[in-house]
Amino acid sequence: MTGTGDSVNVISFRDVYFGYPGNDDYTLKGVSFDIRAGSTEVILGGSGSGKSTILKLVLGLIKPNSGVIAVEGRDIGPLSEDDLMDVRADIGMVFQEGALFDSLSVSENVGFRLREHEGLPEKEFEERISRLLGFVGLSEFYDRSPSDLSGGQRRRVAVARAMAHHPELILYDEPTTGLDPITGSTICDLIVKLRDLEGVTSVVVTHQLRDAFQVAQSFVMLVDGEIEYHRVDDVELLYGTEFLVLNEGKLVFQGRQRDLFRSDEPYVHKFLEGQIPAFRR
C-alpha cells in the first residue's frame, strides 16, 4: 500500500492524462491526488470537467493515456480485464441514474454480484437482500421491477447493490443529480450512514454543493440501537471529508471545507459564488 505518514492511500493518481477517442483535447490533464482509507472525498466541478472519468479510471473501465493509477497500492494500468476483477471486488459503484438492470427485479439487481460470484444458498441470499433493502428503506420493493421505481428509489436500490458485497470503497457518480432536494437529502443520509456505520471509504462526484456539504457536515451514531443523525456547523472541526475541485480537466483545489471557503483560486470562488448566495461579492 502507498502511505504517507500513518495514513494509507486507497486511491492514488499520479500525473494522469486521459482523452476519449475521437476528441482532440484531453479530458484529464496531469491530475494527481491521494485518497486516504476511511475518508470521504468529494469531487466537485462543472459538467464535462472530467469528474466521472476519474471514477471510470479507478474501476479500470477505461485506461489512462499516461500516468499511474494505484488502487489499494496496486498499479492498475498494466492489469488485464481478468486481473482487474480482483481490484473491482473491493469497490462498489453507484452509477448516474442508478444503471439498474431493466430485465431483472429489484432483488436480483441488488443480489447480482452475490449470485454471479458467491453462489449463496437461496435462503441466505434472500435474507441478505432483505437486510440490504431494509438498510435503504425499500424492503417492500423486493420483487418489483426497476421500471416501477421513482428516480430516488432507483438510486437507493443502486446504493444497496453497490454495498451488497461489503466493499471497502464506494464510488458515487452524481448520486443526487436530477432529484428534488428532499429525495437528494435522503441519498446523502445514506452515504453518511454507510460511511459511519460500515466504515466505507467514499468518493462522491457531484456538482451540487448543498449535497456535498451535507455529506461533509453530517455524521451518524448508534445510540441504544437507534440511528441518530447529527450535523456539525463549525467547518473548522471537520476532518473526515476532503474536497477536490476540477476545472477543464485540471485539479484546481484539494483540501478541507474550511480551506475551500478560503481558497483564492478564481474558479473555486466562482463555483462557490454560483451556488452559495453569501459568496457573491
Partner 1 sequence: MIDAISERVKSGLRSLQDYWSISYGAAVSLASRPRYWRETLDQMDFIGVGSLTIVTLTGLFTGMVLTVQSSATLDAFGARPYVGRMVSLSMLRELGPVLTALMVTGRVGSGMAAELGSMVVTQQIDALRSFGTDPLRKLVAPRLIAGVVMVPALTVLSDAVGMIGGYLVARFTLRLGTGLYWHSSLDAIKMHDIFMGLIKPFVFGFIIVSVGCYQGLTTTGGTRGVGESTTSSVVVGSVLILASDYFLNLLILRFVYP
- Verify binding: residue 113, partner 1, rule CB under 8 A: yes
- Verify binding: residue 59, partner 1, rule CB under 8 A: yes
Q: Which residue has the cell 471486488?
A: 89
Interface with partner 1 (CB under 8 A), residue total: 20
Judged by CB under 8 A, the residue of 71, 91, 133, 212 near partner 1 is 91
CB of 8 to partner 1, least distance (A): 23
Phi, psi for residue 233 in degrees, rounded to 5: -90, -20
Residues 6+ apart with CB under 8 A from 13: 31, 32, 33, 34, 54, 57, 67, 68, 69
CB of 112 to partner 1, least distance (A): 6
Closer to partner 1 at the Cβ: 68 or 104? 104
- Verify binding: residue 90, partner 1, rule CB under 8 A: no
Judged by CB under 8 A, the residue of 6, 24, 102, 122 near partner 1 is 102
Per-residue binder mask for partner 1 (CB under 8 A), 225-244, x = binder? --------------------
Closer to partner 1 at the Cβ: 100 or 138? 100
- Verify binding: residue 56, partner 1, rule CB under 8 A: yes
Judged by CB under 8 A, the residue of 42, 69, 100, 203 near partner 1 is 100
Judged by CB under 8 A, the residue of 85, 221, 222, 227 near partner 1 is 85
CB of 102 to partner 1, least distance (A): 8
CB of 65 to partner 1, least distance (A): 17
- Pick out residues in 13-52 that bind partner 1 (CB under 8 A): none
- Verify binding: residue 101, partner 1, rule CB under 8 A: yes
- Verify binding: residue 95, partner 1, rule CB under 8 A: yes
3-state per-residue secondary structure call for the chain: CEEECCEEEEEEEEEEEECCCCCCCCCEEEEEEEEECCCEEEEEECCCCCHHHHHHHHHCCCCCCEEEEEECCEECCCCCHHHHHHHHCCEEEEECCECCCCCCCHHHHHCHHHHHHHCCCHHHHHHHHHHHHHHCCCHHHCCCCHHHCCHHHHHHHHHHHHHCCCCCEEEEECCCCCCCHHHHHHHHHHHHHHHHHHCCEEEEEECCHHHHHHHHHEEEEEECCEEEEEECCCHHHCCCEEEEEEECCEEEEEECHHHHHHCCCHHHHHHHHHHCHHHCC
- Verify binding: residue 136, partner 1, rule CB under 8 A: no
Residues near partner 1 (CB under 8 A) are 56, 59, 61, 81, 85, 88-89, 91, 93, 95-97, 99-102, 112-113, 116-117
